[in-house]
Structure 1
Amino acid sequence: MSTGSPPCCRLPQVARILRELLGDACTPFYAAAGHKGAGHKGAVEDRDPLYYSQQSPNPWTDLFIWALLLNRGEMAMYCWEMAPDAVAGALAAASILRQLSHLEQEAQEAAAMKELAAKFEGLAIGMVGECYRSSEHWVLQLLVRRSCLWGGATCLQLARQADARSFFAHDAVQVLLTQNWWGEMNRGTPVWQLLLTFFCPLLIFTNLITFRRSTEEEGSPEPLGTMELNSIDVNEKSSTRGSLEGPDVVGSPATQCDSKDWLQRWHWFWGAPVTTFLGNVVMYLFFLLLFAYVLLLDFAPPPPEGPHGPEVLLYLWVFSLLCEELRQGCFAGHQPLPQRICAYLSDSWNQLDLTALLLFLMGAICRMSSWTYESGRTVLCLDFMVFTLRLIHIFAVNKNLGPKLIIVGKMVKDVFLFLFFLAVWLVAYGVTTEGLLHPHDQRLPWIFRRVFYRPYLQIFGQIPQEEMDAALMKATNCTGSAAEDCASTYANWLVLVLLVVFLLVANILLLNLLIAMFSYTFSKVQGNSDIYWRSQRYSLILEYLSRPALAPPFILLSHLYTLLRPRTRCSRSRHFSLELSEEQDGQLLTWEAVQKENHLVALRRQKRESDTERLKRTSQKMDQALKQLAEIRESERHLKSLENQMEYCTQALSWVVDALAQSDLGKKHQDPPMLRKE
């Protein structure tokens, strides 16, 4: 390539980079540029791309992306201020910069990218706060609106891609999540009313379950019409609270219900995610009860005697759970299948579900044979423990228990670190004492028990002194087979010393170290646990929005209905996504631009009034004053030097005048008399 030729970098290459950085939150950028090269990537660079003859939707957005990819922070900030769609742009910038920071090899550049990403996340949070103070109704639409400039992604999708936990912790986002969690039901409905209605559905048509009422008509935000920007009220807060039902509305309000709205009431109750969650929890408890009953009371021998009816029902129930996991992993979402599977496996709860299902399958296969019947029973008993631990997931929805669950998850890592240190001492102490006390024992099960199990129990105070102290050992004839059980007393004093040292290190040092680690983790995570929980709440609500309303094992009916009508898109999957017309989208962006200007003005005012800025201005004034004072001192020094020189010159001139005067007087005295007479 010659020196004057442009760099060989086409927009399809930029599109692939953005796809890697933003994931599947956005549709591919510059899709028109790569349309000709579909099917073979190399053909894109060999043809004239379409974007040469097409106009960009917004050049400021393109410049903004370019500045982000080159890590030019000031230019990116200026382009963000000039470009529309401020909240989505700030979240997309945070996502791009955080992904780039992971690829950056230089630590200083990576730190600068992370700092800039945090700055853009703060701008997004500030913008949402400014919009929320202006109008709650409009900001809820802004959060779920599909952005044309950012590949049809919503603000919530971009925030999830950017891992912006603080953004999800904002009150506006939590209001949105709460509205979708309760659907059209009153959010203050007690749990006992939901449970009672769940078991007796006819209570839906009574006043036991109340639904939200609104006089607002179903549709998009109120039009601005011919209103000018100066007349938009940016201070009045709307009290409208919608529920984001349907593809074209953010708050489809519930009309006043009467006796004729039975079908609508039925749909509102069973269509709410809180009902789906409650149904899954109740049916999961019944599943655990059935599992326990089969293991304890009705685990029949292999065929032809068993399995009996309850066990067959258990197998059907687990099959429904397996179908639901396959639906979540392979058929949920619009990404390619490998990406859907990777996203599914990245969740620890999904990994636990797969482990439980695989153990159940293994145990069910083993129990069908008389040779492996007991092994199958053992595997199923262990699997019951795994299924029961899965029940902890229901705590995530609770406001008080959810943050504590996050703290427990962080402490589990501390436990594994503690077990590593403890295992080193257990092996060192256990092998040494076993070699000193039982040098002739060749039974491996007993050796492993005394090497690992006995030292572990000694930590909790279970010390068998009659087996370790020679003074307390019973006299035994150490002959024949009894010689294996007889402890050696040759170096018993060393065994007692090692016991003291082990208890000192394990009970005092390591256990207190574990307590200190727990305290540090608790104090560190406690302040941010609420933010973590609020960000995870979005994933939980999104999961139950996409789930069928029926809980296992009845969920098989929903799966069968989906298979029979694969093209039918359930309205529940359209939550958190809002399609607006071009006019409505323009009105919303205009309102957002006004809020952005207000927010930037407030930031500049806050920056001017901040203590740091005041100190900076004071420091600048002091520097100017010191500079002027230094100039004055320099002028005074220069003037003083001139005065000294003038004084010296004056003295020199006076000396010269005196010298000349004395010289003239001397000449008069030395003239001859003749001349003097004349």
Structure 2
Amino acid sequence: GFDPLTLVEKDDISSYQKFIEQLYVDSYKAMNTSHRNRLITILGKLPLEPMTEVDYKLNKFDLSNHIFPFCGSPGHVENDYELNVINSNIKTDRTNNKYTKHHMLRDLFLWSILMDMPEMAKVLLLHVRSRICAALIASAVFKKYSNSSQIVDLRDKFQSQSLEFETYAAMSINKCYEYNEKRACELLLRQIPLFGNVTCMQVAISSESVKLLETACFDQTLNQVWFDKLSLSNQQTSAKLLQIPSILTFGLIAPWVINYRKENEESLMNTNLSKQGINYYVDEKNSTEAPCTKYWTHFRYFHESSLIKMSYHFISYIWFLLVFSYMMLYHLDNRNTFIIPHWTEIYVIITVSTMFCEEARKLFQEYDARMLERWGSTGSTLLTVLTNTFYILPYFLFYLGLGFRYGSYNEDLLSTARIIWALDLELWYLRTLKFVMALKFLGPKLFMLKNMLRDLFAFVFMIFIAITAYGVVSRSLILYKQVPFTGYGIFSEIFYEPYWLIYGEVSDKDLLDDIINNNNNATGNAAEATATHVLLAFHMLFINILLLNLLIAVFADTIGKVQENTEFYWRYQRYSFVREYFERLPLSYPPLIIIPHIILLFLTIYQKCCSKLSRNRVINENHVPLSKSFTRIFKMIPVNDSQNEQWDSFENAATYSYVRSILENNKNKNTLTTNYEQLKSTIPTTDSNLSKTTVDQQQIIENLKNELMSTFKLALVETQKGLEQNNSRMENRLDQMKASLEWMMNAMSRVKMNNPNDPRPTFASSSLRNDTSFADQATTLTTNSVE
């Protein structure tokens, strides 16, 4: 096909950048109000300033709207030191910071997407680099357009376009996976400089791309990162049994019993990838190392694996729960009874503090590295708030209880601290549910719980109204002036007792029966009790039969939807799980995690004290600060641009034929649509002309009809004559064949080749004349029918 880049003579086309900027400005001015509102939901404040502000939006990598709408030139990254740190390992020349042909195609592609021109975007997609990431961005934009549209037709149209680009991305990665599985996995993990150093996985997770997450390549990529430099054969049951003694011995026997990746041609990738990001390839020099050095290398590989980090974290967390429980049961005494707190209390305080520091470090690193695709990913504002509260509340309750514990010697404050810590301990137990994310048969159940909580809160208001209505009305009838006007009295009498109606506990029935039978005026008369009886029966019907069964039906529907997309939900959660343990620091098991925290704090202080020297190293020597190299980013970061070019070449070669087939199908579809529209426009014109036909025109039509009939009759006569001549020729040939067969039979009888007992076959006379007469009749009938 035609490559539009051939029209550009030089690679540096900075003059075209002004044209692109003006194109965006003019397009914004020509937009209608609804289109502008859709853009505001994606980009925020509009109109945008020149491309530098647009660049800054993506380079800041704000995924709060699950989208990264624009890209900017890499030169703007120099304005942000933290982003420059991320790219410090990419050894590029200053000429690469210019506005190139590929930046122009990228900006035109994004413009066509934002202006709702999907057909133009498909053509540009054939020539843009990193077309899988570009297709995912297009899908995310249209999905956001669909969610922000108020018109049903527009919403369906944008949803269809989003699904089309999402399908394209999934099919493209499948094509790459068919050619080379390892390279396809790298395409999902590699950071893409053309699109602000994002990865395809980030875009797919932030936009919840179902089709891409359900591909075999996505699952295999997570497996590669999960085992890191351990062999994928460790998934087998026999290998899992060997992992148990390796973990219990702290990895000392792991180099002998655990399978590691082999050094092969893929080991060359080890030198092309930065250690700051993902690099699960082993160094080819390992095979030539001394046995002792090789042992410690494998020992380090064992502890760097996300699988092993999770195992140790799980063991340390269970131990923390056991110690916390033991402390709550036996060693939470008054401060007057001891001088130094029990070791369990000291251990719990240190462990919770180190876990809190780790949570804070993770949040800061995600924001600092622009890895925010999981923020606000629940799809519901209320559910997002509840999720964040669930993670923050255990630490808040613990330190609140700690303040009451050591705030005074008062026994009442100790009871308050004991109550707060008891609730806190229950939350710590519930947090163990996150470890089931690694299990396919249990992981999606967490999604079911989240969605069911969302459904439950939708019903809480209706149930609350029903409970309040019954509580107030019934107490006003049977307990007039007997409900204490206090917070506790109102809560216990009006809300708490009617609350148990949900579970079938009807405590009011005995009271009402006693009033009716004994006519006890102290609590109410029989008429009021009878009315309350009727009210109780109605509320039991409304709450227990209608509301609760409706809630169960909604739960069943939610569970069914999750089960239909079990693969998607499990991989969606597994991405977060794998990424969490990949980015964890070494020895990230509380309370030992305090050691890497101290090291990281020391390195950060050292960097801040020597910030000027560090900046010079980043720019001039492409040196990564020690504080940054100590943590890893969930991206595959190349050391030089040649690796990016290899990835682009492989992706374009593997997906080119598929992209061409899409364009050809769209071309044929458009041609059929155009012909159909022309036909639709022609039919009304013909009908209108026929309605205006005059008598003269009808006479002309009648004459034409007669001429056609006469011509048709002549043609039939000529056809009949031809058929008769063909019949006569066929009769002559049949007679000749009959004579020949007679001669052959006579010859066979003379040489006695036939069986004398079998009768001699006879030949029937030709019946072609009868057939000819039948043909004549058919011709006559046809002529009559035409007349």
Q: TM-score range by the shorter chain?
A: 0.7 to 0.9
> Would the aligned equivalents of 2:74 and 2:97 in 1 still touch at CA under 8 Å?
no
The residue that corresponds to 1:197 in the other structure is 246
SS in 1 for 2:235: coil
What is the rounded CA distance, in whole Å, between the counterparts of 1:588 and 1:328 in structure 2?
Answer: 30
SS in 2 for 1:299: coil
Distance 1:332 1:622, change over 3 A: closer
Pick aligned residue for 1:450 from 489, 493, 499: 493
Pick aligned residue for 1:294 from 320, 327, 345: 327
Distance 1:454 1:258, change over 3 A: farther
What is the rounded CA distance, in whole Å, between the counterparts of 2:271 and 2:346 in structure 1?
Answer: 56
Pick aligned residue for 1:353 from 386, 391, 405: 391
The residue that corresponds to 2:770 in the other structure is none
Note the C-alpha offset of 1:264. 1.8
Pick aligned residue for 2:234 from 183, 187, 206: 187
Q: Does 1:554 align with 2:554?
A: no
SS in 2 for 1:201: coil
| Aligned 1:423-572 pairs, distance under 5 A | 423-443=464-484, 444=486, 445-464=488-507, 465-470=509-514, 486=523, 488-550=525-587, 551-566=589-604, 567-568=625-626, 569-570=628-629
SS in 1 for 2:267: coil
The residue that corresponds to 2:296 in the other structure is 263
The residue that corresponds to 2:208 in the other structure is 163
Q: Does 1:420 align with 2:461?
A: yes
> Would the aligned equivalents of 2:172 and 2:655 in 1 still touch at CA under 8 Å?
yes
> Would the aligned equivalents of 1:144 and 1:154 in 2 still touch at CA under 8 Å?
yes
The residue that corresponds to 2:699 in the other structure is 641
Q: Does 1:12 align with 2:52?
A: yes
Aligned amino acid, residue 275 of structure 1: I
> Would the aligned equivalents of 2:73 and 2:99 in 1 still touch at CA under 8 Å?
no
The residue that corresponds to 2:122 in the other structure is 77
Q: Does 1:151 align with 2:181?
A: no
Distance 1:614 1:450, change over 3 A: farther
Distance 1:258 1:319, change over 3 A: same
TM-score computed with the length of structure 1 as normaliser: 0.76
SS in 1 for 2:234: coil
The residue that corresponds to 1:402 in the other structure is 443
Distance 1:487 1:59, change over 3 A: same
The residue that corresponds to 2:766 in the other structure is none
What is the rounded CA distance, in whole Å, between the counterparts of 2:591 and 2:97 in structure 1?
Answer: 56
> Would the aligned equivalents of 1:189 and 1:210 in 2 still touch at CA under 8 Å?
no
> Would the aligned equivalents of 2:63 and 2:206 in 1 still touch at CA under 8 Å?
yes
Note the C-alpha offset of 1:430. 1.5
What is the rounded CA distance, in whole Å, between the counterparts of 2:372 and 2:562 in structure 1?
Answer: 34
Distance 1:56 1:202, change over 3 A: closer
> Would the aligned equivalents of 2:276 and 2:632 in 1 still touch at CA under 8 Å?
no
Q: Does 1:577 align with 2:636?
A: yes
The residue that corresponds to 2:647 in the other structure is 588
Q: Does 1:278 align with 2:311?
A: yes
The residue that corresponds to 1:252 in the other structure is 282
- Partner deviation per Cα, 1:342-380 (whole Å, 9 max, x = no partner): 999968655323211011000011022233221111111
Which 5+ residue runs of structure 1 have no aligned equivalent? 39-49, 224-242, 649-678
Pick aligned residue for 1:309 from 343, 362, 365: 343
The residue that corresponds to 1:663 in the other structure is none
Aligned amino acid, residue 175 of structure 2: E
> Would the aligned equivalents of 1:247 and 1:577 in 2 still touch at CA under 8 Å?
yes
Distance 1:498 1:268, change over 3 A: same
Aligned amino acid, residue 187 of structure 1: N
Distance 1:74 1:322, change over 3 A: same
> Would the aligned equivalents of 1:333 and 1:340 in 2 still touch at CA under 8 Å?
no
Note the C-alpha offset of 1:197. 2.5
The residue that corresponds to 1:660 in the other structure is none
Aligned amino acid, residue 482 of structure 2: D
What is the rounded CA distance, in whole Å, between the counterparts of 2:704 and 2:405 in structure 1?
Answer: 118
SS in 2 for 1:516: helix
What is the rounded CA distance, in whole Å, between the counterparts of 2:544 and 2:345 in structure 1?
Answer: 46
> Would the aligned equivalents of 2:226 and 2:305 in 1 still touch at CA under 8 Å?
yes
| Aligned 1:103-252 pairs, distance under 5 A | 112-185=157-230, 186-188=233-235, 190=237, 193-201=242-250, 204-205=253-254, 207-220=256-269, 251-252=281-282
Moved more, 258-267 or 120-129: 258-267
The residue that corresponds to 1:671 in the other structure is none
What is the rounded CA distance, in whole Å, between the counterparts of 1:590 and 1:110 in structure 2?
Answer: 36
Aligned amino acid, residue 435 of structure 2: I
SS in 1 for 2:632: helix
- Partner deviation per Cα, 1:36-94 (whole Å, 9 max, x = no partner): 999xxxxxxxxxxx999954444322321222232222222211122222112212323
Distance 1:556 1:219, change over 3 A: same
% identical equivalent positions? 22
What is the rounded CA distance, in whole Å, between the counterparts of 2:524 and 2:271 in structure 1?
Answer: 88
Note the C-alpha offset of 1:273. 0.7
Note the C-alpha offset of 1:128. 0.3
Distance 1:28 1:473, change over 3 A: same
Q: Does 1:327 align with 2:365?
A: no
What is the rounded CA distance, in whole Å, between the counterparts of 1:432 and 1:619 in structure 2?
Answer: 68
> Would the aligned equivalents of 2:402 and 2:417 in 1 still touch at CA under 8 Å?
yes
Which 5+ residue runs of structure 2 have no aligned equivalent? 1-21, 27-48, 82-94, 605-624, 707-787
The residue that corresponds to 1:364 in the other structure is 402
Distance 1:36 1:341, change over 3 A: closer
Distance 1:104 1:276, change over 3 A: same
Note the C-alpha offset of 1:216. 3.2
SS in 2 for 1:316: helix
> Would the aligned equivalents of 1:320 and 1:553 in 2 still touch at CA under 8 Å?
yes
- Partner deviation per Cα, 1:447-476 (whole Å, 9 max, x = no partner): 532322222223333334432213787798
> Would the aligned equivalents of 2:447 and 2:569 in 1 still touch at CA under 8 Å?
yes
What is the rounded CA distance, in whole Å, between the counterparts of 1:66 and 1:647 in structure 2?
Answer: 59
RMSD in angstroms over aligned alpha carbons?
Answer: 4.6
Pick aligned residue for 2:72 from 26, 29, 45: 29
Note the C-alpha offset of 1:28. 6.2
SS in 1 for 2:196: coil
What is the rounded CA distance, in whole Å, between the counterparts of 1:67 and 1:90 in structure 2?
Answer: 12
Distance 1:189 1:286, change over 3 A: farther
Distance 1:53 1:171, change over 3 A: closer
> Would the aligned equivalents of 1:430 and 1:455 in 2 still touch at CA under 8 Å?
yes
Pick aligned residue for 2:658 from 592, 599, 607: 599
Distance 1:124 1:492, change over 3 A: same
What is the rounded CA distance, in whole Å, between the counterparts of 1:587 and 1:340 in structure 2?
Answer: 29
What is the rounded CA distance, in whole Å, between the counterparts of 1:132 and 1:222 in structure 2?
Answer: 23
Aligned residues: 604
Note the C-alpha offset of 1:175. 0.3
> Would the aligned equivalents of 1:131 and 1:139 in 2 still touch at CA under 8 Å?
yes
| Aligned 1:647-662 pairs, distance under 5 A | none
The residue that corresponds to 2:11 in the other structure is none
What is the rounded CA distance, in whole Å, between the counterparts of 1:639 and 1:116 in structure 2?
Answer: 51
Distance 1:432 1:617, change over 3 A: same
